Structure 1
Amino acid sequence: MSVYRKIAEIGTKFMSKASLFKHGFNLSPMYRRSTGRISHVSDDLLNISIKVPISYKNKNYVNSIFGGSMFSAVDPIPMVQLMNLLGDDYVVWDKSAVIRFKRPAKEDLYADFQYTTEELENIRKAINDQNEIEITKHVELKNKNRTVIFCEVKKVLYISDKEYFKEKRKRSKK
């Protein structure tokens, strides 16, 4: 179990999962370095918003936000969000990502991450039927009004039944 999972396990005894998600990410060294900050987490964890403020910490040679900062601010959210939504009976891994820069970002950026209850039901049903699946989540980094897209990220997530995953790993080691 990672240090972050241990903190989450203990932390939920003192604060809501949503509050812990927000403050845990914003205080963790791995996420702070991205320069992104989680600004909102819904009580049910289905909706998460982030802000990537432009600053001297993430400006590149041409005074726009460094692409690595954009990607690293987005990268962990869909996987960790889904892990928390599905619970401990599932394995969730990042499988791949594609980032496409649309225009230089010379202002603060914002992104919204969403899962629906229907989407979660479909994932559980597919895992029940197939044991493992892949899904693709799309996220866009936009301006404050959410009218201009600066960057698109497509993340492929692997999801599996935990017991199936353990057996699969045992078989692959033989």
Structure 2
Amino acid sequence: MHHRLAKFVFNLWPPFLGAGIRVGRIAPDWRQVEVRLRLGLSNRNYVGVHYGGSLYSMTDPFFMLMTLKNLGKDYIVWDKAGSIDYIKPGRGTVTARFQLDEAWLQAARSATADGSKHLPQLTVDITDQQGELVARVNKTLYIRRKQER
């Protein structure tokens, strides 16, 4: 899927739309993604700050999709595990910026060249409008090169 079409689809996807999650940017090479979440009635918790589930949801598919788009159809890529560490209450608009570099992708290719599975851990920070850390999300991916038929 083209990066512009993907952005359009994500921004209309019901779980994101309902939570107020907006994809601001997907780089043409799928190595950078920026996602924002504005505080609203649909994503605030009892004490009036961002609901933790919405904070985690804004990070859910992106490392997996970015990796899959960069490694290609010869690879199986899944989200295996994830955790979130809440640092401070989220107010206003929060942002998560995802990035993959060529060295990381090359390491994944090397680790799976013989058909072995690779379980890399990636981290994305969620920051507020002042650039202060609101939450840190850790994701573990499952990557394996498909066997030739």
TM over 0.5: yes
1:150 corresponding residue in structure 2 = 134
What amino acid is aligned across from residue 151 of structure 1 in structure 2?
Answer: A
2:55 corresponding residue in structure 1 = 70
Higher relative contact order (CA 8 A, sep 6+): 2
Q: Which stretches in structure 2 are left out of the alignment for 5+ residues?
A: none
SS at match of 1:154: strand
1:91 corresponding residue in structure 2 = 76
Matched, 1:38 2:31: no
2:125 corresponding residue in structure 1 = 140
2:4 corresponding residue in structure 1 = 19
Residue 34 of structure 1 and its aligned partner are, at CA, apart by 3.6
Q: How many residues end up aligned between the 2 structures? A: 149
Q: Deviations over 1:20-77 (max 9, x none)?
A: 2211211222332342111011111111101011111101110001000000111111
Within the candidate set 108, 120, 126, 1:123 is matched to 108
Q: Which stretches in structure 1 are left out of the alignment for 5+ residues?
A: 1-7, 9-16, 167-174
Structure that is richer in strand per residue: 2
Q: Report the TM-score, using the length of structure 1 for normalisation.
A: 0.80
What amino acid is aligned across from residue 86 of structure 1 in structure 2?
Answer: L
CA distance in 1, matches of 2:25, 2:130: 16
1:52 corresponding residue in structure 2 = 37
CA distance in 2, matches of 1:140, 1:77: 13
Contact preservation (8 Å) 2:21, 2:36: yes
2:94 corresponding residue in structure 1 = 109
Give the fraction of aligned pairs with identical amino acids, expressed as a percent.
29
Contact preservation (8 Å) 1:91, 1:160: yes
CA distance in 2, matches of 1:112, 1:79: 14
CA distance in 2, matches of 1:130, 1:65: 41
Tell me which stretches of 4 or more aligned residues in structure 1 moved more than 4 Å. Answer: none
What amino acid is aligned across from residue 147 of structure 2 in structure 1?
Answer: E
Residue 87 of structure 1 and its aligned partner are, at CA, apart by 1.0
1:12 corresponding residue in structure 2 = none
Q: Deviations over 1:112-166 (max 9, x none)?
A: 00000121111111110452110011011101342x00011000001001228x9
When Rg is computed on C-alpha atoms for both structures, the one with the higher figure is 1
